[in-house]
């Protein structure tokens, strides 16, 4: 007696077979989209790092996409009543998932962090200005773009449905599954070793792909005597390399106009003595201003270039845009200092404190000399910026920003001085071309990142994150400096470090 499959069972079998081919096709598409994450990240630099990258790329993206198929689409195949409804639902799910991955890839390319609950506040802050400029035409364009993408998924689903019997003759299920499974297991196994050895070409890829949680086994290895946790922590703190050997500064040519007949004084205090009153100026005060330089030379470089002192060795022989641009456009520029400094960037600009010509004045003075300099008549009608907070002891210190300009924003640092001065003089060139800071007249970020000695310092939401190496960090309250047990905002830290080092790419 021959028992034939029921029509429903036949339909379910065909839908399941079709679903696997549909998932494989979307895995290939997801792999292409995920290449954006790879090209947006620094090269591993070693053969083992590149091998891990390939394993992780195929293994993680394949696993993530197939998991979406198993969770959202496969159950629909067993509830089949109308294949057309199943194909439409699967196409809509695939289109939405891949669209989110594409958006995440573009976000990662631009900012260095992924879509997540911890990044929601940052994303909202970054996107607020752009979205407010969207009109009906832009929203209709985005909707049309998604409909085209959904249409492509429907065409793909129907094409596979018509050819599913023919495709089943290609016995590739086992080798394809084995390949992706091998890549997935191999990537996690390699990462366990790399994490234990603090092998940076691999460890630095931890946040490359969305929803990526590479395996670690430090506790298990230490339990069996394979890893000394104390020694591991010591080595981990030595992994951060503050030296940057190749930079592109500025990243793009800076073209803009300035008001060459203006007079502006930027004064940076070099000690922590109280400032005398200066009633001749109507000074606004920003209290959430931070100085992170560890030395006076570092403070000068940070001020003139608008970048952290991590770039000190590579930029000493370059001309800062803050000086070169005004001079090139006919504005007199002078630098005033307390004492002779060996910094080559000051050559040709150094002038006595008594010099009082019109134009741009940049001064690095102790508190008792600032009022004397600004008492000259030439500054009576000029704009003034006074930045305090630096100490000879170095480290991250809170100071004040006193200025006649209409500064905004909730937080600022020394790196913000150069772009703010240039914008006040009329230069509208993109700040990211020449600085890691921001223009305080039109701030775009509510966080800042800098370096202090061998530490990366991130300040956000009344918290300070100090990073000594990849994963070795301390979170403290900005005001009390008491240590916090709050979880690390990995997305913020990843984006901050990417922002910090964008001149080194």
Residues 115 and 176 in one domain: yes
Q: Is the pLDDT of residue 296 over 60?
A: yes
The number of domains in the chain is 2
Least confident interval from 52-61, 119-128, 264-273, 413-422: 119-128
pLDDT at residue 148 in the model:
92
pLDDT (0 to 100) of residue 33: 94
Exposed, middle or buried, 400 (CB in 10 Å: 0-12/13-18/19+)?
middle
Run of H or E residues at 7 = helix 7-39
**Integer Cα distance of 474 and 98 in angstroms:** 36
70: three-class secondary structure by DSSP: helix
Same domain, yes or no: 172 and 321: no
Considering only 17-21, 179-183, 344-348, 352-356, which range has the smallest mean pLDDT?
344-348
Assess whether pLDDT exceeds 90 at residue 53: yes
pLDDT confidence bin for 265, thresholds 50/70/90: very high
Answer whether residue 340 shows pLDDT above 60.
Answer: no
For residue range 221-231, list pLDDT tens digits in order: 666 566 666 65
- Please give the pLDDT value at position 402: 92
For the ranges 282-286, 434-438, 479-483, the lowest mean pLDDT is seen at 479-483
User: Does 286 have pLDDT greater than 50?
Assistant: yes
Cross-strand pairs, 399: 289
User: CB neighbours (10 Å) of residue 300?
Assistant: 25
- Say if 492 falls within a structural domain: no
Q: Could you report the per-residue pLDDT of 234-263, keeping only the tens digit for each?
A: 455 434 444 555 678 888 888 899 888 889
- The DSSP code sequence of 427-487 is --S-GGGT-SS--TTS---SEEEEEETTEEEEEETTEEEEEEETTEEEEEETTT--B--PP
Give the residue ranges of DSSP H helices in 40-79: 47-68, 74-78
**Residue 445: what are its φ and ψ, rounded to 5°?**
-125, 150
End-to-end CA distance of the chain: 72
* pLDDT at 497 > cutoff 80: no
Distance of CA 364 to the CA centre of its chain: 31
Q: Residue 423 falls within a domain, yes or no?
A: yes
Q: Residue 64: CA atoms inside 13 Å, Cβ hemisphere, count?
A: 19
CA distance 180 to 63: 8
> Residues 6 or more apart from 277 whose CB is under 8 A from it?
none
Planar angle of CA 495, 498, 500, nearest 5 degrees: 110
**Which H, E and C letters describe 97-166, residue by residue?**
HHHHHHHHHHHHHHHCCCCCCCCHHHHHHHHHHHHHCCCHHHHHHHHHHHHHHHHHHHHHHHHHHHCHHH
Asked which of 182, 217, 236 is the last residue of a domain, the reply is: 236
- Residue 249 falls inside a structural domain: no
The count of residues in the chain is 505
pLDDT for 2 equals 47
CB 427 within 8 A of CB 262: no
**221/366: higher pLDDT:** 366
Which of residues 126 and 75 earns the better pLDDT score? Answer: 75
Q: What percent of the chain has a predicted confidence (pLDDT) above 90?
A: 32
384 pLDDT tier (thresholds 50, 70, 90): very high
Question: Which of helix, strand or coil describes residue 230?
Answer: helix
172 & 319 share domain: no
Q: What is the DSSP string of 398-429?
A: EEEEEESS----S-EEGGGHHHHHHHHTT--S
Give the per-residue pLDDT at 130.
Answer: 52
Same structural domain, 63 and 181? yes
Boundary of a domain, candidates 216, 236, 256: 236
Q: Would you say residue 207 lies in a domain?
A: yes
295 and 429 share a domain? yes
- Predicted local confidence at residue 318, as pLDDT: 83
Q: Does 153 lie in the same domain as 68?
A: yes
pLDDT tens for 368-383 read 888 888 888 888 888 9
State yes or no: pLDDT of 466 exceeds 50: yes
Range of the domain at 282: 264-445
Q: Where are the beta strands (DSSP E) in 300-350?
A: 333-337
Average pLDDT over residues 411-439: 93
Extract the tokens encoding 491: 């997305």
The answer to which of 134-143, 400-409, 491-500 has the lowest mean pLDDT is 134-143
Helix axis angle, 7-39 to 173-197, nearest 10°: 40
Distance of CA 445 to the CA centre of its chain: 12
Lowest model confidence (mean pLDDT) among 7-11, 203-207, 501-505: 501-505
Residue 496 lies in a domain: no
Same domain, yes or no: 67 and 214:
yes
Residue 112 CA to residue 100 CA, distance in Å, equals 16
pLDDT of residue 241: 47
Q: Is the pLDDT of residue 66 over 80?
A: yes
pLDDT score, position 237: 44
CATH code of residue 404: 3.40.720.10
- 99 and 231 part of one domain: yes
Say yes or no: 207 and 279 in one domain.
no
What average pLDDT does the segment 470-482 reach? 76
For residue range 78-104, list pLDDT tens digits in order: 886 788 999 999 999 999 999 999 988
Last residue in a domain, options 390, 417, 445: 445
Instruction: Name which residue leads in pLDDT, 248 or 345.
Output: 248
For the chain, the average pLDDT equals 83
Question: What's the pTM?
Answer: 0.60
Same domain, 229 and 286: no
User: Does residue 254 lie within any of the structural domains?
Assistant: no
What residues contact 168, with CB distance under 8 A and at least 6 apart?
17
User: What φ, ψ does residue 478 adopt, rounded to 5°?
Assistant: -60, -40
Which pLDDT score, from 0 to 100, does residue 240 have? 45
225 and 271 fall within a common domain: no
Q: Is residue 285 part of a domain?
A: yes
Enter the tokens of residue 471: 């994963």
Which residues make Cβ contacts (< 8 Å) with residue 484, sequence separation at least 6? 463, 475, 476, 477
Residue 195 clears pLDDT 70, i.e. is over it: yes
Contacts of 210 (CB under 8 A, 6+ apart): 37, 64, 101, 104, 108, 114, 115
Predicted confidence (pLDDT) at residue 291 exceeds the cutoff of 50:
yes
Whole-number pLDDT of residue 238 = 39
Residue 1 has pLDDT above 50, yes or no: no
Structural domain includes residue 183: yes
Question: SS3 for 24?
Answer: helix
**What was the pLDDT predicted at 133?**
54
Whether 390 and 290 have beta carbons less than 8 Å apart is answered as: no
279 vs 129, higher pLDDT: 279
- Count CB atoms within 10 A of the CB of residue 102: 17
pLDDT of residue 60: 95
Distance CA 399, CA 105 (A): 38
411 to each of 4, 110, 294, 350, how far by Cα in Å?
A: 73, 22, 20, 30
Q: Smallest Cα–Cα separation from 302: which of 264, 351, 339, 268?
A: 268
Same domain, 53 and 164: yes
pLDDT the model gives residue 128 = 55
């Amino acid at each position: 007696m021959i028992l034939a499959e029921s029509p429903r069972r036949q339909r379910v079998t065909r839908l399941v077979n079709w679903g696997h081919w549909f998932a494989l096709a979307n895995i290939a598409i997801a792999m292409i989209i995920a290449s954006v994450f790879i090209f947006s990240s620094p090269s591993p630099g070693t053969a083992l790092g590149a091998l891990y990258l390939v394993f992780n790329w195929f293994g993680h993206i394949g696993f993530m996409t197939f998991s979406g198929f198993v969770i959202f689409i496969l159950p629909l195949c067993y509830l089949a009543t109308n294949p057309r409804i199943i194909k439409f639902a699967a196409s809509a799910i695939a289109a939405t998932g891949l669209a989110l991955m594409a958006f995440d890839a573009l976000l990662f390319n631009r900012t260095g962090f992924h879509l997540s609950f911890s990044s929601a506040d940052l994303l909202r802050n970054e996107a607020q200005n752009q979205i407010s400029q969207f009109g009906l035409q832009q929203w209709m364009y985005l909707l049309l773009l998604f409909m085209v993408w959904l249409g492509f998924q429907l065409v793909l689903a129907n094409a596979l449905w018509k050819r599913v019997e023919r495709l089943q003759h290609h016995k590739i299920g086992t080798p394809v599954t084995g390949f992706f499974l091998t890549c997935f297991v191999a990537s996690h196994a390699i990462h366990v070793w790399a994490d234990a050895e603090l092998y940076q070409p691999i460890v630095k890829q931890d946040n490359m792909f969305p929803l990526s949680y590479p395996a670690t086994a430090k506790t298990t290895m230490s339990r069996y005597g394979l890893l000394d946790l104390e020694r591991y922590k010591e080595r981990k703190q030595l992994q951060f390399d503050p030296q940057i050997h190749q930079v592109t500064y500025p990243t793009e040519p800076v073209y803009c106009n300035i008001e060459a007949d203006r007079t502006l004084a930027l004064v940076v205090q070099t000690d922590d003595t109280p400032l005398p009153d200066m009633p001749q100026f109507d000074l606004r005060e920003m209290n959430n201003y931070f100085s992170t330089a560890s030395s006076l030379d570092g403070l000068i470089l940070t001020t003139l270039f608008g970048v952290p002192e991590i770039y000190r060795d590579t930029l000493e022989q370059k001309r800062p845009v803050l000086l070169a641009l005004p001079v090139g456009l006919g504005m007199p520029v002078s630098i005033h200092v307390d004492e002779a400094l060996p910094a080559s960037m000051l050559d040709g600009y150094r002038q006595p404190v008594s010099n009082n010509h019109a134009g741009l004045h940049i001064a690095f003075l102790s508190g008792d000399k600032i009022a004397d300099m600004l008492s000259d008549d030439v500054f009576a009608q000029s704009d003034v910026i006074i930045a305090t907070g630096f100490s000879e002891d170095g480290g991250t210190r809170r100071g004040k920003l006193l200025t006649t300009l209409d500064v905004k924003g909730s937080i600022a640092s020394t790196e913000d001085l150069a772009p703010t001065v240039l914008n006040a003089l009329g230069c509208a060139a993109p700040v990211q071309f020449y600085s890691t800071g921001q223009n305080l007249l039109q701030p775009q970020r509510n966080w800042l990142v800098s370096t202090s000695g061998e530490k990366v310092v991130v300040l956000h939401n009344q918290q300070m994150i100090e990073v000594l190496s990849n994963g070795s960090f301390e979170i403290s309250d900005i005001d009390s400096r008491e240590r916090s047990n709050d979880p690390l905002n990995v997305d913020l830290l990843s984006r901050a470090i990417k922002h910090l080092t964008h001149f080194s790419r």
